[in-house]
A and B are shown apart, each in its own frame.
Chain A
Amino acid sequence: MTVLVLVEHDNASVKDATLAAVTAAGKLGEVHALVAGSGAQAAADAAAKIAGVSKVLLADDAAYAHALPENVAPLVVDLMANYDAFVAPATSNGKNIAPRVAALLDVMQISDILSVESADTFTRPIYAGNAIAKVQSSDAKKVITVRGTAFEKAAREGGSAAVEAVAGKGDSGLSSFVGAEISKSERPELTSAKIIVSGGRALQNSENFHTIIEPLADKLGAAVGASRAAVDAGYVPNDYQVGQTGKIVAPEVYIAVGISGAIQHLAGMKDSKTIIAINKDEDAPIFQVADIGLVGDLFKVVPELTDKL
């Protein structure tokens, strides 16, 4: 079986989410990687070095600069004539493009896989991760998105694949990119961080995130996350959200501060290796999944913790 993996990149480098997708794809067969971008030679060169990738296809065109699915999906569909499976990381970009590809191929996509059981059988979370379904696909070609926390990352070095240029139909004329507000942070990226400090509604405002959560995160070299309630209330931007429909994380250590632990939040972080909860309500559901719990007022104990570390 030959598998085409969608590379998540910023034209210059390859993002971590790609590496887990390469590992998952490698369990199915030979892995080729597709870099669709604009001025993306550097990203293609980086993809060629990933261990396990045997060929890189580079579609370099202004139409692919912002990964608009109306332009990228037809390109993938054309390429799929030569492949048995299409694998994308379950990032906002992968989730945007893969179902469009699947429908054009008349394939039922398998979303967010946790494991590859065989060439046609996979496990995936349903009901906010409260159940795991083992599903078998009867489609001739497979379209799959991969949960990044469920697979080891392929090594960034070790491969020496050839880069081949491919051309697609270019701009569909259906959509255009207007602009982006991308959060800039010196901290590690949420989905690849080893330690995460997350805050909930109990933080009360944006200012407290800056003065209580961030100093602790910086002391630990951690990323900052948040519950849906904190994002909805406007304390932090949407890209901080951890949960069922936000980011799925599984760091070495997850510190939940003032988060009660709704099932939708647990769905995004319960695969963390160690969970630490700080909450003043000793009956908060978060304590039922926490390895280490501290009952206390976060406004007192978090600054004290930051001080003592």
Chain B
Amino acid sequence: MKLLVPVKRVIDYNVKPRVKMDGTGVDLANVKMSMNPFDEIAVEEAIRLKEKGVATEIVAVSIGEAKAQETLRTALAMGADRAILVVAEGEVEPLAVAKILKAIVDEEQPGLVILGKQAIDDDSNQTGQMLAALTGRPQGTFASAVTVEGDSVKVTREVDGGLETVSLKAPAIVTTDLRLNEPRYASLPNIMKAKSKPLAQKTPADYGVDTSPRLKTLNVSEPPKRTAGVKVADVDELVAKLKALGVAA
């Protein structure tokens, strides 16, 4: 079974984003960028399926600016076999990403596509579900466990009330949640090896996809700021505060 793993280059999760003064977006100049954490989990899951003998080949794909090549090299260093970079300037919305991925799925015919459930920059949580819709495939979103059994894929999902397990007819789409696995670090020899793994460069036009945005960002602003309040010296003072708030009798 071939696996397709889309990855996105985003602001590093340890960096506190700053809104630009002119209200046009978040300042990404000279900011550390990394692979979206949920996508790292997706790459790791694909590698584990290959190590178990379930998967035969892992293809990583990224859609974004040319620098997304670094993100793909990271995926290759972790253990992906080859990569496809679809170079697109500006922001590409989840719907357009899903359309490009659909074209790649048609070409590559993967048995499973594993994606992060959400990118930590736009927090949309849409691409996997949209890809499933466009390809007419079943979806196992927010996965905390994935088991491939013949031509069915069992996915345990993190839902509001706890956990839910569904069985999907392969080929299927899976999106990862935090508890699916702990991604490995790429070793130095593997980072070196990744430099010579195949990486194909494409454009959205190669797949016949129009990436013009449907949503226009009118402005980006800072949320209302909270300021630090008071520190109480001891529990008695805290109890008094809680009583004043009316939450304790």
Q: Given that A109-B126, A175-B138 are contacting pairs, would A92 and B159 also be in contact in the complex, using a CB cutoff of 8 Å?
A: yes
Decide: B123 and A125 in contact? CB cutoff 8 A.
yes
Closest residue to B129 on the A side, CB-wise?
A99
Decide: A111 and B220 in contact? CB cutoff 8 A.
no
Decide: A99 and B130 in contact? CB cutoff 8 A.
yes
Chain A CB within 8 A of B66 CB: no
8 interchain pairs (CB within 8 A)?
A102-B126, A103-B130, A104-B134, A128-B120, A175-B138, A239-B162, A247-B160, A287-B231
Q: Given that A100-B139, A220-B247 are contacting pairs, would A136 and B215 also be in contact in the complex, using a CB cutoff of 8 Å?
A: yes
List the B side residues contacting A176 at CB < 8 Å.
166-167
Q: Given that A180-B161, A263-B16, A290-B229 are contacting pairs, would A96 and B141 also be in contact in the complex, using a CB cutoff of 8 Å?
A: yes
Shortest CB distance B212–A (Å): 9
Bitwise, B112-133 to A at CB < 8 A (1) or not (0) is 0000011011111111111111
List the B side residues contacting A95 at CB < 8 Å.
125, 129, 141
Chain B CB within 8 A of A183 CB: yes
Closest residue to A134 on the B side, CB-wise?
B218
Decide: A264 and B245 in contact? CB cutoff 8 A.
no
CB < 8 Å: which of A101, A181, A295 contacts B163?
Answer: A181
Residue with the greatest number of chain A CB neighbours at <10 A, chosen from B121, B129, B241: B129
Please name the 8 residue pairs, one residue from A and one from B, whose CB atoms are nearest each other, closest first. A99-B129, A291-B229, A108-B214, A103-B130, A103-B133, A99-B126, A174-B138, A127-B17
Decide: A99 and B166 in contact? CB cutoff 8 A.
no
Question: In the complex the two chains form, what is the Cα distance from A126 to B18 in whole Å?
Answer: 11
Chain B CB within 8 A of A112 CB: yes
Decide: A292 and B117 in contact? CB cutoff 8 A.
no
Q: Given that A73-B133, A109-B94, A131-B220 are contacting pairs, would A178 and B247 also be in contact in the complex, using a CB cutoff of 8 Å?
A: no
List the A side residues contacting B234 at CB < 8 Å.
294, 296
Question: In the complex the two chains form, what is the Cα distance from A125 to B118 in whole Å?
Answer: 13
Task: Give the interface of B toward A (CB within 8 A).
Answer: 11, 13, 16-17, 19, 25-26, 38, 93-95, 98, 117-118, 120-134, 136-142, 144, 154, 157-169, 177-179, 213-223, 226, 228-232, 234-236, 238-239, 241-242, 245, 247-248
Decide: B178 and A232 in contact? CB cutoff 8 A.
yes
Decide: A270 and B226 in contact? CB cutoff 8 A.
yes
Chain B CB within 8 A of A215 CB: no
Shortest CB distance A161–B (Å): 26
Within 8 A of B (CB), among A185-216: 191, 195
List the A side residues contacting B16 at CB < 8 Å.
130, 263
Question: In the complex the two chains form, what is the Cα distance from A282 to B239 in whole Å?
Answer: 20
List the B side residues contacting A293 at CB < 8 Å.
228-232
- Number of inter-chain CB pairs below 8 Å: 260
Closest residue to A145 on the B side, CB-wise?
B125
Question: In the complex the two chains form, what is the Cα distance from A139 to B96 in whole Å?
Answer: 14
Closest residue to B121 on the A side, CB-wise?
A127
Within 8 A of B (CB), among A242-282: 244-245, 247, 252-253, 263-264, 270, 274-276, 282
Question: In the complex the two chains form, what is the Cα distance from A173 to B137 in whole Å?
Answer: 10
Q: Which of A30-38, A44-52, A162-170, A301-309 contacts B (4 or more CB under 8 A)?
A: A301-309
Interface of A, helix, strand, loop or mixed by DSSP:
mixed
Closest residue to A275 on the B side, CB-wise?
B226
CB < 8 Å: which of A101, A129, A295, A301 contacts B223?
Answer: A129
Closest residue to A264 on the B side, CB-wise?
B13
Number of contact residues on A: which range applies?
A: 35 or more
Decide: B223 and A125 in contact? CB cutoff 8 A.
yes
Decide: A103 and B235 in contact? CB cutoff 8 A.
no
Decide: A70 and B138 in contact? CB cutoff 8 A.
yes
Shortest CB distance A140–B (Å): 10
List the B side residues contacting A292 at CB < 8 Å.
229-232, 238, 241
Within 8 A of B (CB), among A70-101: 70, 73, 91-93, 95-101
Question: In the complex the two chains form, what is the Cα distance from A181 to B234 in whole Å?
Answer: 41
Decide: B239 and A305 in contact? CB cutoff 8 A.
yes
List the B side residues contacting A282 at CB < 8 Å.
231
Chain B CB within 8 A of A68 CB: yes
Chain B CB within 8 A of A238 CB: yes
Decide: B214 and A138 in contact? CB cutoff 8 A.
yes
CB < 8 Å: which of A103, A127, A177, A301 contacts B120?
Answer: A127
List the B side residues contacting A97 at CB < 8 Å.
129
Closest residue to A90 on the B side, CB-wise?
B125
Shortest CB distance A169–B (Å): 13
Decide: A108 and B163 in contact? CB cutoff 8 A.
no
Decide: B247 and A253 in contact? CB cutoff 8 A.
yes
Shortest CB distance B19–A (Å): 5
Chain B CB within 8 A of A224 CB: no
List the B side residues contacting A139 at CB < 8 Å.
214
List the B side residues contacting A66 at CB < 8 Å.
164, 166
Question: In the complex the two chains form, what is the Cα distance from A270 to B134 in whole Å?
Answer: 36
Q: Given that A108-B94, A238-B179, A309-B242 are contacting pairs, would A175 and B167 also be in contact in the complex, using a CB cutoff of 8 Å?
A: yes
Q: Given that A138-B214, A309-B242 are contacting pairs, would A238 and B228 also be in contact in the complex, using a CB cutoff of 8 Å?
A: no
